[in-house]
Amino acid sequence: MQMTFRWYGEKLDSIPLKHIKQIPGVSGVVWSLHDLPAGDYWPMERIEEVKAQAAAYGFNIDVVESVNVHEDIKLGNANRKIYIENYKRTLVNLGKAGVKVVCYNFMPVFDWTRTDLFRPLSDGSTALFYEKRKIESIKPTEFLEDMSKQGISTMPGWEPERLSKIKELFMAYEGVTEDDLWGNLKYFLEEIIPVAEKNDIKMAIHPDDPPWNIFGLPRIIKCKKSLDKFLKLVNSPSNGLTLCSGSLGTSANNDIPEMVRIFKERIYFAHIRNIKRFDNGDFTETSHKSSDGSLDIAEIVKAYHDIGYRYYIRPDHGRHVWDEKCRPGYGLYDRALGIMYIHGAWDAYNNSTLL
Ligand SMILES: [Mn+2]
């Protein structure tokens, strides 16, 4: 496996590359051009700029998260042709720059969803939290106002220009079923996967977070059955997965180690983090330690080790600890602790095979 760390770039991230360099065993940064709206073409010079910044610290830029998919593509609107063309041209440029994996998601309107960005845990740290009842009872517009107050507008997937059109978007999705969304995803894949193949890129879809429908919007990438269906839409090695333990794991029906073993050939990016599920449907993010959450992270790492996983891992989110001021879920300290937990487990499994 190759350990990576998400970095928002020189202008948007509070964490400098020189600090990431001091986390043991990190070979690359996971990056994006966060200032470009979904659907835009990524010019070569902008890609090369990030590549040079990362290379100055010995990091590769093999993994992009994300090249976002324009809503017109998810909706299957006539305009999708323009945005798919831009997507293809962007993939060609990323291939030229040596990018190997492109993460993206296909969630309508809202990206990952939480109700609290800084919810206190019993140890005095804070973490991202999801309150089921609140999501079920609040209107999407009220929810958005609440999130804006908490500072979400700087987070990827929650760009103000996209969300300012929230009412229009909801109207556009009226009557769009899960089957429609599957059809639009298939159309998109049939267009871009051949381009990814030609440019030696693995596309890696991120599951829906959380993996169930919210605000009446359809969500389709949420369980073993849907991952299997997804991979068969276009049966190519370039059509793969970002297996996010913390997203899929919020549903108790999803067995993450089992999924790692089943989908091993097509997992190109692993997001590893823990969450704690509560009986009422709420969940909170926690440290990576298995005993702190509902997921056995050591067992998940073992599954990756067992399959001889060669691709990319990142610690995904972390808590906010030691009074760090950071983007919600994206501090330095707890993600670095997570990396060391994963490295520790991995090394232990390495040694145990020698005994
Ligand atoms: Mn994730």
Q: If we measure between CA atoms, which residue out of 316, 320, 323 comes closest to residue 331? A: 320
| 351, pLDDT greater than 90 | no
CA angle 33, 36, 41 (to 5 degrees): 90
Question: Can you name the residues that pair with 269 across neighbouring β-strands?
Answer: 242, 312
Active-site residue 87, yes or no?
A: no
Q: How far is the CA of 65 from the centre of ligand 1 (A)?
A: 10
Q: Count other Cβ atoms within 10 Å, centred on residue 122.
A: 5
pLDDT in tens, 107-133: 998 888 899 999 999 999 999 999 999
Handedness of CA 334, 67, 98, 307 (dihedral sign): positive
Q: Which of 173, 304, 309, 330 is catalytic?
A: 330
Cα 184 to Cα 190: distance, rounded to the nearest angstrom: 10
Average pLDDT over residues 19-29: 98
Parse the chain into domains and list their residue ranges.
2-354
Cα 46 to Cα 109: distance, rounded to the nearest angstrom: 27
Cα torsion for 185, 186, 187, 191, to the nearest 10°?
100
Active-site residue 244, yes or no?
A: yes
Q: Does domain 2-354 have CATH number 3.30.70.1290?
A: no
Average pLDDT over residues 240-247: 98
| 215, pLDDT greater than 80 | yes
CA angle 36, 41, 43 (to 5 degrees): 90
pLDDT attached to residue 286 = 98
Active-site residue 200, yes or no?
A: no
Q: Which of 83, 208, 244, 334 is catalytic?
A: 244
Category of 63 on φ-ψ map: left (φ > 0), alpha (ψ -120 to 50) or beta: beta
Cα 289 to Cα 300: distance, rounded to the nearest angstrom: 12
The 3-state DSSP class for residue 29 equals strand
pLDDT in tens, 29-45: 999 999 999 999 999 99
In angstroms and rounded to an integer, the radius of gyration of the C-alpha atoms of the chain is: 19
Q: How far is the CA of 354 from the centre of ligand 1 (A)?
A: 32
pTM of the model: 0.95
Q: How far is the CA of 48 from the centre of ligand 1 (A)?
A: 26
Average pLDDT over residues 18-22: 98
Active-site residue 330, yes or no?
A: yes
Average pLDDT over residues 149-163: 69
CA angle 31, 343, 317 (to 5 degrees): 45
Q: How far is the CA of 355 from the centre of ligand 1 (A)?
A: 34
pLDDT range class, residue 151, cuts 50, 70, 90: confident
Q: How far is the CA of 258 from the centre of ligand 1 (A)?
A: 18
